[in-house]
A and B are shown apart, each in its own frame.
Chain A
Amino acid sequence: MRPLVQTLRALLAHWRRHPVQLAAWVVGLMLATALWSGVQALNTQARESYDRAAGLFAGAAQPMLVAREGETLTDDVFATLRQAGWPVSPLLEGRVRVGEQALTLVGIDPVTLPAEAAAASAVDQTGFELAAFLTRPGLTLAGPDTLQQLGVEPGAELRLASGALLPPLAVASTVPPGTLLVDVGLAQQLLQRPSELSRLLVADDPRWQTQALPEDLAERLYWQHGQSEDDLTRLTDSFHLNLTALGLLAFVVGLFIVNGATGLAFEQRSSLLRTLRACGVSGRQVVLALLFEVLLLALVAGLLGLLLGYGLAALLLPDVAASLQGLYGARVAGALQLEPRWWLAGLGMSLCGALLAAVGSLWQAARLPVLGLARREAWRAHQQRGVMLLALLGGGLWLLALGLFMAGSGLVVAFAGLAALLLGAALCLPGLLSVAVGIGQRLARGPVAEWFWAEARQQVSALSLALMALLLALAANIGVGSMVDSFRLTFTGWLDQRLAAEVYMNAEDAEQAEQMVEWLVGQPEIEAILPTGHLISRYADEPLELNGIRVHDTYRDHWPVQQQLADGWDRVGTGQAAMISEQMARRFDLAPGDSLTLGLAATPWLLQVAGIYADYGNPRAQMVVDLDALMARAEGPLRQGFSLRLHPDAAPQLVERARRDLGLEGTAVIDQASVRNFSEQVFERTFVATGALNTLTLGVAGVALLTSLLTLTQSRLPQLAPLWAQGLSRRHLAWLEWLRTLCLAGFTILLAVPLGLLLAWCLVAIINVEAFGWRLPLYLFPEQWLRLIGLAALTTVLATAWPLWRLGRQSPATWSKVFAHEQ
């Protein structure tokens, strides 16, 4: 044990003498951990919210019985089924408003609730208070985040916009955000739907799912497997995968820093290691001591990184939550709540990353010859030979990427291809730089210039990791930036087409829809009323939005149709054809003229694909069909709405009047400008997190370059001192050094542009299609590249200036000491 401790102390002494190197190491791993764990925190938080939403009434598989179109589910049905032995539990759901907040009120019966439903544990959490839940005044259970959002304390009694008073609030952490849980009887009163139920949950027991319903009920009810919330996880997967990919990229870039610092520290300590070995410390003990050292540093850096990551996640969470709500209607708790698992996983990732980054050095240490010559540049020379090997490996990765893109399918494969592409490019970088330097060397005239290029070649490998990081970060920035801007341009144009009507109205239920019609026909300024009906159904076991319309010139003239059969809209009007979204066409490989069958009711509905339209930003497949045909076939009630055509100037007044006369709120009536505004906001917010991560990645690359150079200047002295001795001034030498670094970095930056474009193309043509099901046209934004190149150049100049300025300022005594020390 003693030799190990002594060895560790001797090794650690190195960091005391090189605090900047230590800082580089720690900062590198800290940033890597922070970005990775920050992204994971965001993902975990969002997923946890979905799980709560989906799990409130058991997992994704929770089967339910709901009423068919025109039927109402009532308590009697519940009683009848229970008395026939069916393990059903009643549920009533409705929307309520508390002040400005729209919330979901869910009524349950805790006594029959399937044990697997999270709501059961929500009730359990209140323990003794079950009696209070079941009797007056009752209890309102809500998640802690909902209370926070409402700004109230447990025990508070909320007043609904309808005037009704909710029972006192109690906290139950498994209730999803934005949801209030009360007893079903109370919910019937609060929602003014006496004896009414929304659905019957059926215990997750396969025996009952194959059982036939009692005859008289079979006509009134139908099975619904899984709510739309259950699809959230799948729908939002692509969003989270995007975030994860960016987080991973940042992590890898961070690891480059650690790897560089570890390698350098090893190289600088190689003579120390030899001395230790000569003193009788075994090779195993040396490696063990090095391993301890790495783990110790990784622990410190990992903990710091986790704190930073937590801060980052807390900062980005509101935007991520807003994106998810806007894109998918998914409610994500606005306050960060993390489990110990997150901290452990983050720390584990940090330790593994550090080990991965240090494995090369440890390997070297294990094979270090005791009596070998103390050749400082030994490992670097080895690496020089490795440039060729790296380039070969990089080429191999490119082939792999090509193979994955051509043969594979699925988002994970696409991302793997992208990773292979980026990593391959990074590995080829030293080789490409060597070629470039070789050209420079051939063109060089005069001893100083020749020396300049020869040294540059040697620096390629020393700086290669930092330059790789720069290449990756910059390429990612260009790629993602191009993708986002292309998307923005396309999206705005598409919104113009899609939002053809001046005012949109949405009815809560059939009764309100009737009120709306009555009111609308009395408004003289309205030129056309286009009724719509909306329904979430399923096609090939995936959620499908079914939009019913009555064909009108507005659709013919404005709908963003990409390709269609002749008289496409007229065909839709017959009820035997449909326009389908691009997502749907891609997902199910459908083209105009193809047929598809919807299993809406007992009788299948055969439809011809009349055309395909763009539907950006919608994760679900969507279809436009004839409204009357849809109404005739739908099992459940349609969500009805109206698109109104009128003079755009008259729209705001109409909206105002509708709100007043019909008592409508929020998005129940909205004019085109507001929809557009809202959609654009959602769009912008979606990419806020992406943008922030991107910028941070570039920042990390900057740090990588800075730390590499900081540590490098130390070791450069022996190379420079002879030239100084031959008459070149220190300042001159420092300038040459700076120029050389800038040459290498500049070349890297130039390479990053085509790589970034390639990345953008992959994102638009492969990742987007896989993730969202739509393909975007790729637009080029040269001014954006220039801005990024400028930023990267500035980062480089700043990162290189200080260490080289320090080099120039070092005293002649330091320079001359080089000759005194044994080389």
Chain B
Amino acid sequence: MNNRIWLSVCLLLLAACSDGPDRTSAPAQQGFAGLGLAADAFATVERGGELAFPQDHAAHPEFRIEWWYVTANLEDREGRQYGMQWTLFRQALTPDGGLGHWQDGQVWMAHVGLTAAAEHWHAERFGRSGGGQAGVTTEPDYRVWLDDWSLQSVTAPGSPERGDPLEHIRVQAGTDNLAFDLVLQTDQPLVLHGEDGFSLKSERGQASWYYSQPFYQVNGTLVLGDGAERNVHGTGWLDREWSSQPLAPEQTGWDWFSLQLPDNERLMLFRLREQDNPDSYFAGTHIRSDGSTRPLAPQEIRMQPLETTRVAGRQVPTVWHLEVPVINLDIEARPLNPNAWMDTSIPYWEGPIEFSGSHSGHGYLEMTGY
């Protein structure tokens, strides 16, 4: 919508923290998109804390950054594959939020993307929660929105019992060249990553609160660039994460995988990179079909780029060799569309993948900092 403005919003990360102790650090030392900036007066993610639901589905304005991230692997009636992404980012400009109606210091950014084998569409919007343009409500219904792009819980009429608000949600977005309206449903529990949701991102202690709902069944419609409406179904994955300094200052980007393994198992893997050390830090979670988890230690994960694709003037690794020996996983992952570039104000690669080898199935890949 107004990229120039958002660019400033992103740069504001520098300005907002410029009077913090990290002021002297060179611009390169702020991690990807400023996520490596020191937490300053913001709340910090402490080991040993405990997540509580549904309260933690709401926003955490005392933390600098937070996101709601939904991805889905979809298929239409003709068997064509699609990927869908719906993301809402919250960014606190100042730790002393709540100074006024408009001036709560919260700026929001939403991204949506649709990927087909030969095409990729994306859009971006910005807003402030101050005027009611964006935000999260938990009552009467759980709802996360920016303008008319929304994620809200669906309560079946006549059902007095309410489960977790995220068990049954509807995700919607529309722009000039893409639109979708999907219902995501599951009866599986939420999955906490790391130690009860405390997800470490570096040896130096940078961390975030991180939980997922990786078991969604998805049904709904897509409208692609050609204007035709398609009925689709598939599987979906929701990530919730917040922190005040999720990255170490020297970490420049990450490669993140969400994989749907056979037998209703799930696997989440990520690698954090530094300028001269692509293997700065690894983490992951093996999720069994009953929702129980086994956190993966850095040395238990191997991620190796096999091929790169030139996208938007950069070399991006799009074919990967992934190994997790403790669960006997050895696979090769390929993108549905290697050009799934999100050319947003903070650009990154995000799209659906397929994998084969010891296991086979679908998943999603996100790569930042290339």
Contacts and interface: CB of A to CB of B under 8 A. Distances in A.
A195 B5 contact: no
Greatest chain B CB density within 10 A among A83, A85, A138, A186 is at: A83
Nearest to B128: A111
A84 B102 contact: no
A189 B12 contact: no
Interface centre among B9, B103, B145, B174, by most chain A C-beta atoms within 10 angstroms, is: B103
Given A75-B131, A111-B127, A185 B103 contact: yes
A82 B132 contact: yes
B14 A135 contact: no
Interface in A663-696: none
A111 B14 contact: no
B148 A131 contact: no
Nearest to B130: A185
A185 B107 contact: no
Contacts of A186: 100, 102-103
Contact of B145 (A75, A83, A183): A83
Nearest to A126: B8
B2 A134 contact: no
Contacts of B96: 136
B133 interface: yes
B101 A111 contact: no
Contacts of A131: 9, 12, 15-16, 93-94
Contacts of B4: 115, 120, 124
A646 B100 CA distance: 49
B52 interface: no
Nearest to A116: B2
A82 B2 contact: no
A138 B103 CA distance: 10
A79 B132 CA distance: 5
A134 B126 CA distance: 14
Contacts of B369: none
Nearest to B101: A185
A195 B127 contact: no
A115 B7 CA distance: 13
Interface in A103-137: 109-115, 120, 123-124, 127-132, 134-136
A90 B131 contact: yes
B148 A84 contact: yes
B12 A128 contact: yes
B141 interface: no
B11 A128 contact: yes
A112 B110 CA distance: 13
Contacts of A138: 103
B5 A194 contact: no
A184 interface: yes
Interface string A75-111: 1101100111101001000000000000000000111
Nearest to B146: A82
Contacts of B127: 82, 111-112
B131 A189 contact: no
B15 A128 contact: yes
B118 interface: no
A185 B132 contact: no
Interface in B89-126: 93-94, 96, 99-103, 105, 107, 126
Contact of B15 (A82, A132, A136): A132
Contact of A112 (B100, B133, B145, B150): B133
A130 to B, nearest CB: 4
Contacts of A184: 102, 131
Contacts of A361: none
B263 to A, nearest CB: 41
A130 B12 contact: yes
B129 to A, nearest CB: 10
Interface string B12-24: 1011100000000
A111 B2 contact: yes
Interface string A21-55: 00000000000000000000000000000000000
Interface size on A, as a range, is 35 or more
A128 B126 CA distance: 17
A384 interface: no
Nearest to A84: B148
A259 interface: no
A130 B101 contact: no
Nearest to A130: B8
Contacts of B11: 127-128
Contacts of A109: 102, 128, 131
B46 interface: no
B147 interface: yes
B228 interface: no
Nearest to A203: B1
Interface string A130-155: 11101110100000000000000000
A808 to B, nearest CB: 74
A85 B110 CA distance: 14
A311 B15 CA distance: 43
B147 A85 contact: yes
Contacts of A123: 5, 8
Interface string B21-33: 0000000000000
Contacts of A7: none
Contact of B147 (A82, A132, A185): A82
B12 A75 contact: no
Contact of B107 (A124, A127, A134): A134
A186 B133 CA distance: 17
A134 B131 contact: no
A188 interface: yes
Residue with the highest number of chain B CB atoms closer than 10 Å, among A76, A84, A128, A186: A128
Contacts of B132: 75-76, 78-79, 82-83
Contacts of B100: 185-186, 189
A76 B9 CA distance: 24
Contacts of A76: 132
Given A76-B132, A185-B100, A135 B105 contact: yes
Contact of B103 (A75, A110, A183): A183
B247 to A, nearest CB: 20
A135 B127 CA distance: 15
A184 B130 CA distance: 10
Interface string A181-223: 0011110110000110000000000000000000000000000
Given A83-B145, A85-B147, A135-B93, A75 B101 contact: yes
Contact of B133 (A82, A120, A129, A183): A82
Contacts of A195: 101
A36 B268 CA distance: 74
A189 B150 CA distance: 30
Contact of A85 (B16, B103, B174): B174
Interface in A60-79: 75-76, 78-79
Given A85-B147, A131-B93, A136-B99, A110 B131 contact: no
Contacts of B16: 131, 135
Contacts of B12: 128, 130-131
Contacts of B128: 109, 111-112, 134
Contacts of B14: 128
Contacts of A189: 100
Nearest to A76: B132
Contacts of A129: 15
Contacts of B131: 75, 78-79, 82, 90, 109, 184-185
Given A111-B5, A132-B15, A188-B101, A78 B133 contact: yes
Given A75-B102, A82-B148, 12 more contacts: A83-B145, A111-B107, A113-B5, A124-B5, A128-B12, A128-B14, A131-B15, A131-B93, A134-B105, A135-B99, A184-B102, A186-B103
21 contacts: A75-B101, A76-B132, A111-B2, A112-B126, A112-B127, A113-B2, A115-B5, A120-B4, A123-B8, A124-B4, A124-B5, A128-B15, A130-B8, A130-B9, A131-B16, A135-B16, A135-B94, A138-B103, A184-B102, A185-B102, A194-B101
Report, nearest first, the 8 A-B pairs whose CB atoms are least far apart: A185-B102, A79-B132, A131-B12, A85-B148, A130-B8, A82-B133, A135-B94, A185-B103
